């Protein structure tokens, strides 16, 4: 298939581009590089051994989105078959501080993508949703049947829930439309080559990149947010999924998408605590990861673990990589690229 990846230069998009290209799909990336680096796409091309065309555009802008779809099809030499929509802002704390910016970017880009898909008769969409749409889950592991969009604590999470609804509504009026909403749990790790990985700007918000930067000596110590959750060791429990397993989940969803809209959890089904992640990373890197326990982070839930059985059964997909694999791959990326994609001499935070 000819597949447009919005936000394809980002962390999950770049890994998905590798998997799709290796499965014989033709990939074109549209990104505004506001939180991504063109170097990531060059490295994707290097890994897969063929050129990956890029179109620079801000998809939240209606005119730019229209031009980007035309340019993307031209770059692949034919009309597109599918879109995987990764583009969006994703920092939870920032979304609380800048709500209108988050809604404007994350909602407008989806509206424009849907309009362009309709205009070009592109009938296949895979959307980057998040386990955050479940809020504070009623039970763990979380199945897709649990309630969505209730009591969410930040605009980022709301924008994901709203986008799910917008896609459901758009699907009603486009004949033959097939959409898959993928609810990611906690993506971690990197491509096993160490050439592409997560490159957060500034101080990482998420656990694994922070731990990796402590291990490599870029940051002094980790703050563990809370130690009195009702979990085995008192720290928060999450379902960490290797980004290459996640990328394979996108390829499976793209290929299996049936008519209408379906939602799937992409997770491993296994929970790990913050302290277990720290121990796994120390083991993989051979470096100490000093930490201190601090207050819980507002909005965090005690536990968030996927029930991935629906995706296992219907997408014929399952995770094959462990937390130890993710730590080893993340360490390879971090130690070989201590400044991420920045060129030598470029200043990083
Ligand atoms: C967060 C978002 C989620 C988003 C995901 C990926 C919330 C409530 N959820 O998930 O919507 O999709 O990021 O961007 O914010 N931790 C520490 N110290 C740190 C960082 C994290 O102890 O410096 C702990 C957290 O308390 C949590 C776990 O590590 O228990 C994972 O945190 P994180 O990587 O930020 O992901 P989530 O909060 O699960």
In this structure, the residue with its CA closest to atom 35 of ligand 1 is 206
The residues, any chain, with a CB within 8 Å of residue 109's CB and separated by 6 or more, are 6, 59, 60, 65, 85, 87, 88
Residues designated catalytic: 156
| Residue 128 near ligand 1, beta carbon < 6 Å | no
| Residue 130 near ligand 1, beta carbon < 6 Å | yes
Count other Cβ atoms within 10 Å, centred on residue 279.
15
The reported pLDDT for the residue numbered 314 is: 98
CA distance 61 to 32: 11
In this structure, the residue with its CA closest to atom 15 of ligand 1 is 92
CA distance 242 to 140: 20
CA distance 311 to 307: 9
Tell me how many degrees the CA angle 208-22-124 measures, rounded to the nearest 5.
Answer: 85
CA distance 109 to 117: 12
- Output the six-digit token pair for 45: 């091309």
| Residue 223 near ligand 1, beta carbon < 6 Å | yes
The reported pLDDT for the residue numbered 263 is: 98
- Digits of tens for pLDDT over the chain (349 positions)? 999 999 999 999 999 999 999 999 999 999 999 999 999 999 999 999 999 999 999 999 999 999 999 999 999 999 999 999 999 999 999 999 999 999 999 999 999 999 999 999 999 999 999 999 999 999 999 999 999 999 999 999 999 999 999 999 999 999 999 999 999 999 999 999 999 999 998 899 999 999 999 999 999 999 999 999 999 999 999 999 999 999 999 999 999 999 999 999 999 999 999 999 999 999 999 999 999 999 999 999 999 999 999 999 999 999 999 999 999 999 999 999 999 998 654 655 4
Interval between CA 208 and ligand 1 midpoint (Å)? 9
The alpha carbon dihedral of 294, 296, 302, 307 has a sign of negative
The reported pLDDT for the residue numbered 90 is: 96
| Residue 207 near ligand 1, beta carbon < 6 Å | yes
In this structure, the residue with its CA closest to atom 11 of ligand 1 is 132
Interval between CA 278 and ligand 1 midpoint (Å)? 14
Distances, alpha carbon 159 to alpha carbons 109, 153, 298, in Å: 11, 11, 19
Distances, alpha carbon 57 to alpha carbons 70, 134, 200, 207, 279, in Å: 12, 31, 20, 30, 41
Interval between CA 66 and ligand 1 midpoint (Å)? 35
Distances, alpha carbon 311 to alpha carbons 183, 185, 190, in Å: 10, 13, 22
The reported pLDDT for the residue numbered 342 is: 86
| Residue 92 near ligand 1, beta carbon < 6 Å | yes
In this structure, the residue with its CA closest to atom 33 of ligand 1 is 206
Count other Cβ atoms within 10 Å, centred on residue 63.
10
52-57 long-range CB contacts below 8 Å, 24 or more apart? 52/17, 52/21, 52/27, 52/28, 53/28, 53/29, 54/8, 54/9, 54/28, 54/29, 54/30, 55/28, 55/29, 55/30, 56/30, 56/31, 56/32, 57/30, 57/31, 57/32
Interval between CA 345 and ligand 1 midpoint (Å)? 31
């Amino acid at each position: 298939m000819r597949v447009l990846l919005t936000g394809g230069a980002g962390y999950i998009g770049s890994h998905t581009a590798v998997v799709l290209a290796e499965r014989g799909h033709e990939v074109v990336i549209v990104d505004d590089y506001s939180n991504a680096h063109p170097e990531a796409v060059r490295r994707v091309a290097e890994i897969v051994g063929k050129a990956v065309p890029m179109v620079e555009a801000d998809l939240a802008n209606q005119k730019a989105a229209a031009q980007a779809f035309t340019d993307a099809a031209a770059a692949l030499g034919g009309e597109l078959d599918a879109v995987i929509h990764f583009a969006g802002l994703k920092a939870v704390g920032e979304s609380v501080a800048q709500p209108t910016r988050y809604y404007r970017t994350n909602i407008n880009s989806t509206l424009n993508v849907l309009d362009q898909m309709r205009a070009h008769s592109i009938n296949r969409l895979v959307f980057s949703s998040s386990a955050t749409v479940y809020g504070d889950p009623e039970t763990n592991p979380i199945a897709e049947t649990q309630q969505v969009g209730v009591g969410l604590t930040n605009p980022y999470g709301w924008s994901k829930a709203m986008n799910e609804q917008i896609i459901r509504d758009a699907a009603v009026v486009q004949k033959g439309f097939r959409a898959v909403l993928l609810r990611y749990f906690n993506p971690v790790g990197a491509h096993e080559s160490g050439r592409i990985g997560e490159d957060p700007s500034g101080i990482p918000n998420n656990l694994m990149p922070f731990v990796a930067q402590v291990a490599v000596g870029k940051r002094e110590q980790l703050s563990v947010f809370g130690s009195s959750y009702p979990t085995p060791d008192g720290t928060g429990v999450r379902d960490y999924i290797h980004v290459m397993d996640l990328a394979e989940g996108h390829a499976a969803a793209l290929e299996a998408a049936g008519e209408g809209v379906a939602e799937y959890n992409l997770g491993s089904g296994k929970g790990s605590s913050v302290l277990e992640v720290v121990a796994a990373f120390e083991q993989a890197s051979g470096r100490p990861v000093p930490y201190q326990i601090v207050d819980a982070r507002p909005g965090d839930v005690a536990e968030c673990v996927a029930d991935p059985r629906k995706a296992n059964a219907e997408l014929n997909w399952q995770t094959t990589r462990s937390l130890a694999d993710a730590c080893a791959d993340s360490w390879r990326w971090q130690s070989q690229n201590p400044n991420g994609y920045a060129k030598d001499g470029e200043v990083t935070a």
